[in-house]
Structure 1
Amino acid sequence: MELFGRAEVKVFAQRPSTIGQLLTDTVARYAEKPAVVTEQQTLSYLELDGQSTTLAANLQQRGIQVGDRVGAVIGNCAEFPVVVFACAKAGAIMVPINVKLQVEELQYIVGHSKPKLLIVEAEYAEKVKEATRNSGLQETEQPEIFIIGGENSYSHLLDESAAFKQVDIGEQDGAFILYTSGTTGRPKGAVLAHINAVHSVMNYKRRFETDDSMKTLVAVPMFHVTGLVGQLLHMFYVGGTAYSMKRYQNEHYIQLILKHEINFLFNVPTIFIMMSTSEEFQQHSFGFVKKVAFGGSPIYQQTFQMLKKAFPNAQLHNAYGATETTSPATLMPVSYPESKVTSVGLPVEVADIKIVDPEGRTVPNGESGELYIKGPMIIKEYWDNPAANQSSFTDGYWHSGDLGIMDDDGYVYIRDRKKDMINRGGEKIFSIEVEDALKSHPDVVEAAVIGEPDPVFGEKVKAFVVGPKLDPDDFTELQAHCRKTLAKFKVPEQFVLLESLPRNASGKILKNTLKETGGRSNA
């Protein structure tokens, strides 16, 4: 079909028309079943449906119309999915905002997205108010702020006196604006349409073979695409239950998995590595876990083997995607050869992925290039950003900025971010390749590699490593270890030992921070 003006986009013939319809369909089958369970409360599907309809009615009463933005500075709590479906029913575009942002970052997003209304948790209220005042919006454009657990309370928006009016919402209408963490310049607002989210949850269900027996524990932020689509909306589509924790804490996370017998885990590999070091984790069996998914950073052979041992009855799924792909672009199937474990999987059913050279020409299988991705899960556009829309799409394909290869069986392997490739005297070095070599050393827990400016070669290889047994003053053994598998020009010339690597809220390593600080703030 033609989608957002893009020709020949593959779609699923049978699909919910909107996110609101997705919930309606699930309520018809699982009304009394728990939909979301937080540390404070439990909402059944019927209760989630009822609260979101009431909230939608009150949003309409306050002038919210189809296409208006509703900002949400909300962490992992039961109110988050209520706001998701209220906006979907009213036709509003929800703008989930990272609760960790500082005032200056918030004021840009508020000024750029121009929400008519903001729903904010009390602990973030003061910085949101300050950001709104300084957002550059005219007085008449200033959003009304409702606070969860504070004055001008969110509870007023759950007054049942307002009557909900059905509105006409198309599947190509915007459902969310998610601001991507800008590595250079300002963050971009990715507009996820209803059809994008619907196809993504269908892709997860079909590839992972998930069903209504699934119980997931949302430890990643719900305001990021993995928490929002990969876990919340995915569970609501299949009729599973989403358990939630406010903030990730290793021991507590493990205890909740055991308490509720969580059988579907979805995290960045780092969280699984952290879990495996816990005595609590090592003292229990996790045979009840059925599915383990991971993405956001490379999976190493030793991490895969650890997962296989820790979760003996689970299917292990690597996943690759981005905000712009509404979560998954590739997913590992239920079964695959162990030789493929470092792959991020096969393209999802409706995806069209090609690997291209710098001129945009498709390269043969096995050759490296940038991933161009097309499909109904690719975002509608970047909000109010014509330059990004022009530079980021070609013939309906989104330019991922990731370098990878596709093998003859169709499996995709990510080699590096285009901007993270190191050029040492004309020799191209994939940072992931060097990180793999470092991670294969038994004393290295984590590693990140960047290009450091060099007056002779242009760039040299610099490694940041984490490992309590490593000597901060002598890395000759690590260099010797790398020389076993790497060409001499790829072996790191500089090393920095850190207690931890800097990460954003979704768990991705912040290489820009490492470049700017040299790791000083984390040493």
Structure 2
Amino acid sequence: MRIYRSQDKDIDLPHLDVLTFLFDSSWGRAKEDTKIHVEAANPANYITKAEARDLVKRTAYVLRHRFGIGALGDGKDAVVSTSAGTPFLPIMFYSIIAAGGIYSGASTAFTTGELVRQVKDADAKLLVCTEEHQRNTVEAARQCGIPLDRVLVIDSSIPKNWKLRCVVDGSDVLEYGRGRMLDWRRVTDLKELQTTTACLLYSSGTTGLPKGVRISNWNLTAKREAEGRPFVFSTIANLPMAHIAGVCWYALNPFYLGGTSYWMRKYDFDAFIEYSRRYRTTVQMSVPPIWLRVAKSPKVTDHFDSLEVACAGAAPMGKELAEEVSRKLGKGNTYIVQFWGATEATGSITGVDWTVVDKTGSVGGPFPNVTLRLVDDDNRDVEPGQPGELLVAGPIVAQGYHNRPEATRETFADGFYRSGDIGVYKDGMFWIVDRKKEFIKYKGLQVAPAEVEALLISHPKITDAAVIGIQDDEQATEVPRAYVVCQTQADGNTDGKLPTAQEVKDFVKANLSSHKQLRGGVIFVDEIPKSPSGKILRKELRARAKKEPRARL
């Protein structure tokens, strides 16, 4: 068996539950008066570590004694949260775990039907939302048979006067406890840490509908992604806490490192760049579509001059885009690094050290405590330099899928998580070629959509792109088709002329080999369909392609 490990030493992980790790251990670097969570639009609305500890215990008391969360044991009762960004959202996350429950974040972009599906699948005992998502949450509760007095609305409208209102009568349920507190259980037993679910986040995995990923206390404690040179960690929380990146990068990592998360109510590009400049943030993790906008927008000038660390994850980023966006970061001295990860591995698995300037497009090497394999379709190890599916082992690998024993057996096998991502290893670094089932096969030759997409968005007048394979029946083969978003005059296209489909094809022809050409055509669109985490929704494009004219070679 050929295995790959970090070039750094493994970390001696503490046998502690995640809340003790953050609040009451020497591992956590936040001081009692550190403002760990701040409302970006109103910095007077903040929570310090000391305030958070008391607020978590008060909220946990109410969750347990009024709603029964955790009454029958830890890791059994799910609480689904559909919430905009607010400093109280991570408090809810901590409080649910403190009460013995399971935090399950739902996308704020969900339709009622999508929310109903997650609530039912998680068998949620309580629903939490912010005001703008109240109507959708109430309707989901009705369809799921959940009493409306078990739907709570986060109210953070008055600075530092946090409330949880019942939708039935508007009362603040935090007053129920009259200041009483419930301390969380301090857990040090390794088996219990590994088997008690603290978080249930949904992922499509390699195939099929979204499945709940059971993430344990042990998984969350193992997410220590910042070692090496010290820096003050401050960041803009711009990704949802329905996604593992939002949980790790805003609720866990800044807190652990003694820093601050500035919470955006809702992502807005202009507000995002302005907050970055106003708070002089030092660390920013985001997804390629947002970094693409930073790179292309003439609005971005000195907004990211204070950044010391910039990271991209959730989807591949081409090296051309990495170089372009880096010119706008840290006065041109901060080079963006890429991470690779998955919900099933509690976020990041590999990464480029932020002290390293890597211009190869690599996603770096494994983090400490992580073991990787690269295998072919027959589960045989591939040679270095050859593509293979990445398998992952280590304390970050989740317990499996909720109520999906067959999918769990298929995906979590022989001690490894089968990622469905195709990677290549060379000289201590990994490159993600593409998803296993997203390869385009043109006459037996593989075409990686990510490679073509990276080239397309390097074009000065293309702001976004997606590539899929469509079937050409005449030659019985797949051919690549590109969906392209062009830069308008409002976005900085100075001459106002948009490229033609032929010009886009010629651009690819001049830069990529013959079998990677856009024989399936070029379709201009207003936007590329993507998930909240920035992954291209290729299923939607394939469905659209079936209604479009077939390819002409």
> Paired residue for 1:354?
373
Distance 1:472 1:316, change over 3 A: closer
Q: Which moved more, 1:487-496 or 1:467-476?
A: 467-476
Name 1:206's counterpart in structure 2.
Answer: 227
CA distance in 2 between partners of 1:305 and 1:416 (Å): 21
Contact 1:183 1:512 in 2 (8 A): no
Residue 104 of structure 1, CA deviation: 1.1
Alignment CA distance shift 1:507-1:520 (3 Å)? farther
Question: What SS does structure 2 have at the residue aligned with 1:116?
Answer: strand
Q: CA deviation at 1:291?
A: 0.7
The Cα of 1:188 is off from its aligned counterpart by 0.1
Alignment of 1:239-254 (within 5 A): 239-254=258-273
**How much does 1:107 deviate?**
1.1
Quick one: distance in 2 between partners of 1:238 and 1:513?
Answer: 40
Question: By how many angstroms is 1:97 displaced?
Answer: 1.2
2:383 corresponds to 1:345: no
> Residue 183 of structure 1: CA displacement?
8.2
Write the distance in 1 (CA, Å) between the matches of 2:183 and 2:459.
61
Code of the residue aligned with 2:513 in structure 1: it is: A
Correspondent of 1:401 among 420, 438, 441: 420
Distance in 1, Cα, partners of 2:497 & 2:547: 17
| Code of the aligned partner of 1:145 | V
Aligned residue in 2 for 1:503: 530
Shift of 1:406: 0.7
SS in 1 for 2:317: coil
- Counterpart position of 2:3: none
Opposite residue 79 of structure 1, the aligned amino acid is F
Structure 2 CA distance for partners of 1:217 and 1:163, relative to 1, 3 Å: closer
Shift in Å, 1:182: 7.2
Q: Which runs of 5+ in 2 are unaligned?
A: 1-8, 156-164, 488-492, 549-553
Match of 2:162 in 1: none
Residue of structure 1 equivalent to 2:131: 122
1:145 alignment partner, one of 141, 148, 151: 151
For structure 1, which runs of at least 5 residues remain unmatched after alignment? 1-9
Q: 1:442 aligns with which of 460, 471, 482?
A: 460
SS at match of 1:205: coil
Distance 1:286 1:124, change over 3 A: closer
Is structure 2 residue 199 aligned with structure 1 residue 176? Answer: yes
Q: Which amino acid aligns with 1:47?
A: E
In the TM superposition, residue 142 of structure 1 has moved relative to its aligned partner by 8.7
Write the distance in 2 (CA, Å) between the matches of 1:400 and 1:154.
45
Q: CA deviation at 1:11?
A: 6.7
Superimposed CA distance per residue, residues 469-490 of structure 1 (whole angstroms, 9 cap, x where no aligned partner): 6977842232222223323222
- For 1:225, the aligned partner's letter is I
Residue 318 of structure 1 aligns to a residue whose secondary structure is: strand
Matched-pair contact (CA < 8 Å) for 1:355–1:363: yes
- Percent identity between matched residues is 26
Q: 1:417 aligns with which of 420, 429, 435?
A: 435
Aligned length in residues: 502
Question: Does 1:224 pair with 2:243?
Answer: yes
Residues of 2 paired with 1:249 and 1:142: CA distance? 31
**What CA deviation, in whole Å up to 9, does each residue of 1:21-59 have, x standing for no partner?**
122137885111101011341111111111111001111
Deviation of the 1:430 alpha carbon: 1.3
Q: For the structure 1 residues 356 and 24, does the alpha-carbon distance in structure 2 shift closer, same or farther, using more than 3 Å as the test? A: same
Rounded to whole Å, the distance in 2 between the matches of 1:157 and 1:64 is: 15
Are the aligned partners of 2:57 and 2:183 in contact in 1 as well (CA < 8 Å)?
no
How far apart are 1:426 and its partner, in Å?
2.1
**Equivalent AA in structure 2 for residue 49 of structure 1:** R
The normalised TM-score by structure 1 is: 0.89
The answer to whether the 8 A contact 1:115-1:143 is kept is no
Tell me the TM-score normalized by structure 2.
Answer: 0.85
Structure 1 counterpart SS, 2:226: helix
Amino acid at match of 1:418: K
**Does the 8 Å contact 1:404/1:415 carry over to 2?**
yes
Q: Quick one: higher RCO (CA 8 Å, sep 6+), 1 or 2?
A: 2
Cα distance change on mapping 1:450 and 1:166 into 2, 3 Å: closer
Distance 1:514 1:434, change over 3 A: same
Cα contact 2:453–2:465 (8 A) shared by 1: yes
Matches within 5 A, 1:233-272: 233-272=252-291
Q: CA deviation at 1:166?
A: 4.6
